[in-house]
Amino acid sequence: MARIKILVVDDEARMRKIVRDFLVHKDFDVIEAENGEQAVDIFFKNKNIALIILDVMMPKMDGWQVVRTIRGYSQVPIIMLTAKGEERDELQGFQLGVDEYISKPFSPKILVARVEAILRRTNQAQEDLISAGGIVLDKAAHIVKIDEKPIELSYKEFELLTYFMENQGIALSREKILNHVWNYDYFGDARTIDTHVKKLRSKMGSKGEYIKTIWGMGYKFEVEG
């Protein structure tokens, strides 16, 4: 089983090492970044990062900017680290979508306990939330947002997009799509799927290009890069 991947972002190498050592001891896989720009690059290249531990004061791009950038595309849990204990900083963090806020100096054991608690708490929510390439689909609330703007989908269009996003990078035959989205008792033909895909692509705007046509077979949902 793959180890849970955590991104640790701090411009102090000593601080990164302390946090990394405690997390590795608990069998987490740790990736490090020394500034905000590097953190954003790493996050978007590693699609399976489960949690981010993020310092506020950093060169090139501070923690607030990192949160704003990542929150445009992902609801990955974020713990902010800061030397400041001011209430307004905490409020700003929570308004931007930070999950936890820990002031330095802190106990690494407490930090690890917070990490484990957040991962337990968000595990169920993450199952209901699928995100890729600026699209966020909330299965529980039946809402789809593209670049943070909600789009209106019919029930079948929503089910179709859910099936595509849950099977990213996998070629899906029209028969498979009919079986999963329209159920096994549906005896329609492939044109039903093609019509729905056409409407779905149109509503998704430029993101509709993520749904690739595989000629003679079906479709594949794939985000570029």
The domain ranges of the chain are 5-126, 133-221
Q: Is residue 1 pLDDT above 50, yes or no?
A: no
Could you tell me the CA-to-CA distances from 142 to 6, 127, 157, 177 in Å, in that order?
A: 29, 13, 11, 19
- Topology alike, domains 5-126 and 133-221: no
What is the percent of the chain with per-residue pLDDT over 70, rounded to a whole number?
88
CATH of 133-221, one of 1.10.3720.10, 3.40.50.620, 1.10.10.10, 3.40.30.10: 1.10.10.10
Q: In 3-state terms, what secondary structure has residue 144? A: strand
pLDDT at 144 over 50: yes
User: pLDDT tens, 89-116?
Assistant: 666 667 778 888 888 888 888 898 889 8
According to DSSP, the β-strands at 49-55 and 143-146 are unpaired
The two structure tokens encoding residue 113: 């306990």
Whether this prediction's pTM lies above 0.75 is answered by no
> CB atoms < 10 A from the CB of 193, how many?
22
CATH number of 5-126: 3.40.50.2300
The pLDDT mean for the chain works out to 86
- Given a cut of 90, is residue 79 above it in pLDDT? yes
Sign of torsion over alpha carbons 27, 32, 37, 42: negative
| For residues 121-150, average pLDDT | 82
